[in-house]
Homo-oligomer: A and B are copies of this chain.
Amino acid sequence: MLKRFLLTPGPTPVPPEVLAALSEPVIHHRAPRFTEILTEVVAGLKYVYQTANDVLVFAASGTGAMESAVVNLVNPGDAVIVASVGNFGERWLKLTRQWGAEVVALEYEWGTKADPADIERALAEHPETKAVYVQFSETSTGVVNDIRAIGEIVAKTPAILVVDAISGLGATDLKTDEWGVDVCVAGSQKALMVPPGLAYVAVSEKAWAVVEAATQPRFYFDWVAARKKMTGDSAQTPYTPAVSLMVAQNAAIGLIRDEGLECVFERHRWLGKACKEGVKALGIELFGPDDPEANSVTACKVPAGVDGGKITKLARDKYGVWLAGGQGKLKGQIFRFGHCGYFGASDILVGMGVVEMVLAELGYDVAFGAGVGAAERVLMKSPVQL
């Protein structure tokens, strides 16, 4: 009878209104009603992306859309810059190398941000660079890169800026057009509050010019075919879409519109701040910068003497709460709270309370209630509903 709480940065909890939408009878995708849904979803995504660019929808997980942002842009031998600050930065490295790019890798210590000055320097050294790949919110560490500054730099060059915003879009302010993000990748299962299975790309005119010169073989993820089919009065998808997930995404976008994007960001700011203050009050070090805009994930160092691998297991098995552990080389060294999407004050209370119990059971000297109490002091002050 364990009551389950999903406090991970993807998948994330799905609101009841969206679960209800998911339960609607399946409709056929070659019918006017699906065209309406697709059109509404795309319009809603443009609102969340803060973009007037084309937004394409794929039945895929985020990695599929990331790969599409390589095969539609980069030809073998093309120069690209990848700024990697964690596990998903490494995914850009793997993807670009897999498809034959000549990669300039700017690799940062995990837990730190990419330095825009390094990207500026690399672009100057490699003026032939076709694209700069970077994460917005690096899910593995919680770090949020300064896309505004990076965008300003890349915009002055012929290169395009490709941003993985999978765990950040809809949680933290990202002005796709204003900041010059040419390709922006997102997924349904984070702050967009839908189960995994849908992935999105927003593509600028500057990026479309690059797409026109792309020669890699591609079919399912072909952006040109997708754009052609997804626009106009009888918009559809080229291949069978994940119909129910689309209906759910439409409902979730309705919730985001109702709350208002600014309130959504503000809610995430207060949740992030509460989580960080709670962790610090327990004497636990944050992994990475204490950044007021890093509000999708709070990454925490496993305290000395505690078996890091056991934290998430005990939380899950004894209290029904899913937290995230460390990924890649951080396995066992950090644990993470996800709070992007359908999260509120209650989730922070549960997460912090369970971490207190779990750490105490694993031998850490916990001041019971100290983390929750510190979080409460923050949550109380929020000007928006949590």
Contacts and interface: CB of A to CB of B under 8 A. Distances in A.
A349 B369 contact: no
- Of the four ranges (under 10, 10 to 19, 20 to 34, 35 or more), the interface on chain A belongs to 35 or more
Contact of A255 (B1, B23, B379, B386): B1
Interface string A343-373: 1111101100110110011000001111111
A346 B367 CA distance: 19
A36 interface: no
A2 interface: yes
A1 B320 contact: no
In the assembly, how many copies of this chain are there? 2
Interface in A13-37: 13, 15, 23
Contact of A353 (B2, B320, B370, B372): B372
A264 B1 CA distance: 9
Contacts of A318: 385-386
Contact of A259 (B1, B15, B259, B349): B1
Nearest to A368: B373
Which interface residue of A13, A318, A347, A371 has the most chain B CB atoms within 10 A?
A318
B347 A267 contact: no
A107 interface: no
A375 B352 CA distance: 13
Contacts of A376: 353, 356-357, 360, 368-369
Which interface residue of A267, A360, A379, A380 has the most chain B CB atoms within 10 A?
A380
A5 B343 CA distance: 12
Contacts of A360: 376, 380
A263 B320 CA distance: 16
Contacts of A353: 345-346, 349, 353, 372, 375-376
A385 B259 contact: no
A103 interface: no
A329 interface: no
Given A369-B373, A385-B318, A346 B350 contact: yes
A377 interface: yes
Interface in A308-338: 318-321
Contacts of A223: none
A319 B375 CA distance: 14
Given A350-B350, A357-B379, A373-B373, 8 more contacts: A319-B345, A319-B386, A349-B350, A349-B354, A349-B372, A356-B376, A357-B376, A369-B374
